[in-house]
């Protein structure tokens, strides 16, 4: 007899800030807990550059929001304590969380560094009813790992994720289809996954203000105003329809990529190329770490209206080199970008092959070989001392728009990165 599908969504509360706090308290039990004061992770407090990547609950009361420029946050809350980003620490904490979750089900999808989906359909009978099991998971994480999570429970990934965004922190919420009229449909449009500011504005202009309004709206009307593909998807989501399976990252990862939503629009090649360099650093390091080479490179741009354009090329020889990725990404950019201001820049690779052997290139010279050895050395240093232990000089300038290693959401597939970025920052 087929079991009823059961999905858990785990979302770490204020992940970066919580993990930083746990680390500091482990080093010194008498240290100040950042979660109890107005504090934030991200940027440089002295130079006032960068953006807020995570904030404490006390900081939220001052109006500090994730993604805003640090200079704005400090105006709202002058006593805000700002600590630098340490992605190596966050990756370690994320891995510990996944190892704990693996004791409940083998079917886990790491959706981002601080989120995961668990398919509990075949294993829930081993632990008890869903609500009690989720509460026990939260208690284990709180006691063993010293941070808290929200857990959403439903019959599909979409509704489980929506449920985990309800009241925080350290809560369990359910959102099954029969609960949607009371728990989900009264919510504002922006609370629906994948609805950004632009789409919400368009829907408000035709008299739609809540998720329930969209659910009851004729799908044809949505397709007319939002486009066929997006309009149909939003109508399905508003009605809780999502058949996407919980998929292991390695099985789903057909390409390595990363993207970043920028704090301001970019309309010049130099700045855009610097963003591509940061993305190339991250993607190249991941390819080398997994002993993978790519043969196809794609650059993706998205403007403030969410209009997307992309351009790709195929390499003569597969590569895992940051320099090769960067050079070809810049070449693509110059070929197809007309300098229309963009807010999101992405770099994706595909046509992957295991690095079991390497075909010699007739055009490879000693300089190319030295660059490969340099990149491997940099990977080794960063792996031992942290991602910020060594930087390119171009990222030391005061007006740098992005950090040197855009490593957020490191393990998402290209499609998931796009969806997550739009959901968080649109």
Q: Tell me which residues are annotated as active site.
A: 115
Helix axes 322-336, 366-385, angle to 10 degrees: 110
Distances (CA, A) of 297 to 284, 368, 385, 408: 11, 19, 30, 20
Beta strands in 98-234 (DSSP E): 108-112, 115-119, 149-154, 172-174
What is the Cα–Cα distance from 300 to 393, expressed in whole angstroms? 26
What is the Cα–Cα distance from 332 to 318, expressed in whole angstroms? 17
Helix axes 219-226, 197-205, angle to 10 degrees: 120
Helix axes 87-101, 15-27, angle to 10 degrees: 100
Beta bridge partners of 29: none
How is residue 174 written in tokens? Answer: 């359910």
Beta bridge partners of 377: none
Distances (CA, A) of 160 to 8, 176, 249: 6, 8, 18
* DSSP single-letter state for residue 174: E
Rounded to 5°, the CA angle 230-236-240 comes to 140
How is residue 197 written in tokens? Answer: 């500011």
């Amino acid at each position: 007899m087929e079991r009823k599908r059961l999905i858990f969504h785990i979302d770490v509360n204020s992940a970066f800030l919580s993990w930083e706090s746990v680390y500091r308290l482990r080093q010194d039990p008498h240290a100040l807990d950042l979660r109890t004061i107005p504090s934030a992770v991200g940027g440089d407090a002295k130079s006032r550059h960068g953006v807020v990547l995570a904030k404490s609950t006390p900081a939220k009361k001052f109006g500090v929001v994730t993604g805003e420029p640090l200079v704005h946050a400090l105006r709202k809350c002058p006593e805000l304590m700002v600590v630098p980003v340490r992605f190596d620490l966050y990756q370690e904490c994320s891995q510990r969380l996944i190892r704990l979750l693996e004791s409940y089900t083998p079917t886990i999808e790491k959706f981002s560094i601080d989120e995961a989906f668990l398919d509990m359909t075949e294993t829930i009978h081993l632990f008890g009813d869903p609500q009690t099991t989720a509460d026990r998971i939260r208690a284990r994480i709180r006691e063993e790992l010293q941070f808290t999570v929200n857990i959403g429970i439903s019959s599909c990934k979409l509704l489980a994720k929506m449920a985990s965004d309800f009241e925080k922190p350290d809560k369990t919420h359910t959102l099954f289809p029969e609960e949607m009229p009371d728990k989900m449909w009264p919510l504002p449009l922006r609370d629906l996954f994948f609805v950004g500011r632009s789409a919400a504005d368009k829907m408000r202009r035709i008299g739609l203000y809540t998720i329930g309004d969209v659910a009851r709206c004729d799908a044809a009307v949505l397709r007319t105003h939002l486009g066929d593909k997006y309009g149909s998807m939003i109508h399905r989501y508003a009605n809780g329809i999502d058949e996407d399976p919980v998929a292991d990252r390695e099985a789903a990862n057909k390409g390595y990529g990363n993207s970043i939503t920028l704090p301001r629009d970019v309309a010049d090649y130099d700045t855009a190329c610097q963003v591509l360099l940061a993305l190339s650093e991250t993607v190249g390091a991941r390819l080398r770490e997994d002993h993978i080479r790519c043969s196809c490179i794609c650059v993706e741009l998205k403007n403030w209206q969410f209009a997307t354009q992309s351009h790709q090329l195929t390499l003569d020889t597969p590569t895992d080199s940051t320099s090769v990725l960067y050079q070809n990404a810049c070449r693509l950019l110059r070929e197809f970008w007309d300098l229309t201001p963009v807010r999101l820049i992405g770099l994706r690779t595909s046509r992957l092959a295991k690095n079991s052997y390497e075909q010699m290139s007739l055009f490879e010279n000693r300089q190319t070989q030295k660059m490969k050895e340099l990149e491997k050395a940099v990977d080794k240093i960063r792996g031992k001392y942290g991602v910020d232990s060594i930087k390119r000089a171009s990222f030391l300038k005061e007006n740098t728009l992005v950090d040197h290693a855009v490593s957020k959401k490191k393990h998402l597939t290209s499609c998931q990165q796009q969806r997550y970025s739009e959901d968080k920052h649109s």
